[in-house]
Structure 1
Amino acid sequence: MAIVVVVFVGAATAWVVAAGVGPAIFHAHMARAGAVSPEVTVHAERAFRTASALSLALALAAATLTSVVVSIFLTRRITLSLSPVIAAARRVARRDYTARVPPVGMGAEFDELADAFNSMATDLGRIEATRTQMLGDLAHEMRTPIATLGAYLQAIAEGVEHADPPTLGMLRDQVGRLLRLSEDVALVTTVDEGRLTMRRTPTAITKIVTDAAAQAATRCAERGIDLDVRMAPITSGVMVDADADRLGQVLTNLLDNAVRHTLSGGAVRVMVDRVGARVRIVVADDGQGIPSEHLAHVFDRFYRVDSARDRAHGGSGVGLSIARAITEAHGGTITVHSDGPGRGAAFTIMLPVAASVRG
Structure 2
Amino acid sequence: MTAHRKEPRLARLALAPRLLLNNVLVILAGAGTVLVVVLLVTPSVFQLHLDRAGVATDSDALQHILMAVQDAVLVAVGIGIAAAAFTAATISWVVARRLAAPVWDAADTSRRLADGDLDARVLDPGMGPEFATLAASVNELAERLQATEDTRRALTADLAHQLRTPIASIEATIEAVRDDVLPADHQTWDTLAAQSTRLRRLVADLEVVSRAEERQLLLSAEPVPVPSLIDAAVGAHSECYRSAGVRLDASVADSTPRVLVDPERIQEVLGSLLDNALRCTPAGGTVTMAGRPSPSGDAAVITVTDTGIGLTPAEAGQIFRRFAKAADSPGSGLGLTIARAIVEAHHGTLTADSAGPGTGARFTITLPASGSRRTRH
For the aligned pair, the TM-score class normalised by the smaller chain equals 0.7 to 0.9
Match runs of 1:167-178 below 5 Å: 167-178=188-199
Alpha-carbon spacing, 1:161–1:219, altered in 2? closer, same or farther (3 Å): farther
Q: Larger deviation: 139-148 or 11-20?
A: 11-20
Task: Note the residue ranges of structure 1 that are not aligned, 5 or more in a row.
Answer: none
Q: 1:357 to 1:4 in 2, by over 3 A?
A: closer
Equivalent residues of 1:225, 1:262 under 8 A apart: no
Corresponding position: 1:10 with 2:30: no
Q: Aligned ranges for residues 136-175 of structure 1 at < 5 Å?
A: 136-175=157-196
Match of 2:278 among 241, 256, 259: 259
Q: Does 1:216 align with 2:232?
A: no
Counterparts in 2 of 1:293 and 1:218: CA distance versus 1, 3 Å: same
CA contact (8 A) 2:255 2:374 kept: no
Cross-structure match for 2:269: 250
* Structure 1 equivalent of residue 344 of structure 2: 328
Instruction: Report what 1:295 is aligned to.
Output: 316
Pair 31,171 (structure 1): closer, same or farther in 2 beyond 3 Å: same
C-alpha distance after superposition, 1:151-210 (max 9, x if no partner): 223323433323555444443332222222111111122123332111122333223222
- What is the aligned counterpart of 2:333 among 287, 303, 317? 317
Cα deviation 1:9-35 (Å, max 9, x = unaligned): 233323332332223323223444435
Cα deviation per residue 1:73-132 (whole Å; 9 max; x = unaligned)?
334445555665555444433323223344434444434433333332222111101011
TM-score (norm 1): 0.85
Given the alignment of the two structures, is residue 228 of structure 1 paired with residue 228 of structure 2, yes or no? no
- Partner SS for 2:194: helix
- Once the two structures are superposed, residues 23-71 of structure 1 have per-residue CA deviations (whole angstroms, 9 ceiling, x without a partner) of 3323223444435332333223212321222112211211222223223
Provide the C-alpha distance between the structure 2 equivalents of 1:114 and 1:122, rounded to a whole number of angstroms: 12
Q: Equivalent residues in 2 for 1:266-285 (5 A)? A: 266-275=285-294, 276-285=297-306
User: What is the deviation of 1:252?
Assistant: 1.1
| Match 1:93 to one of 90, 98, 114 | 114
Q: What is the percent sequence identity of the aligned residues?
A: 32
**Are 1:191 and 2:191 an aligned pair?**
no
Aligned to 2:150: 129
Kept in 1, the 8 Å contact 2:19–2:96? The answer is no
Describe the shift of the 1:165–1:269 C-alpha distance in structure 2 as closer, same or farther (beyond 3 A): farther
Q: 1:132 to 1:231 in 2, by over 3 A?
A: same
SS at structure 1 position matched to 2:372? helix
- Over the residues paired in the alignment, what is the CA RMSD in angstroms? 2.9
Q: Hey, what's the Cα distance between the residues in 1 that align with 2:288 and 2:184?
A: 41
- Matches of 1:172 and 1:263, distance apart in 2: 30
Corresponding position of 2:7? none
SS at 2:65 equivalent? helix
Residue ranges of structure 2 left out of the alignment (5+ in a row): 1-16
CA offsets, 1:197-238, max 9 Å, x none?
11122333223222222333344345x2413222236279x6
1:20-99 equivalent positions in 2, closer than 5 A? 20-32=36-48, 33-34=50-51, 35=54, 36-37=56-57, 38-78=59-99, 85=106, 88-99=109-120
Residue identity matched to 1:178: L
Deviation at 1:146, TM superposition (A): 1.9
- In structure 1, what is the equivalent of residue 12 of structure 2? none
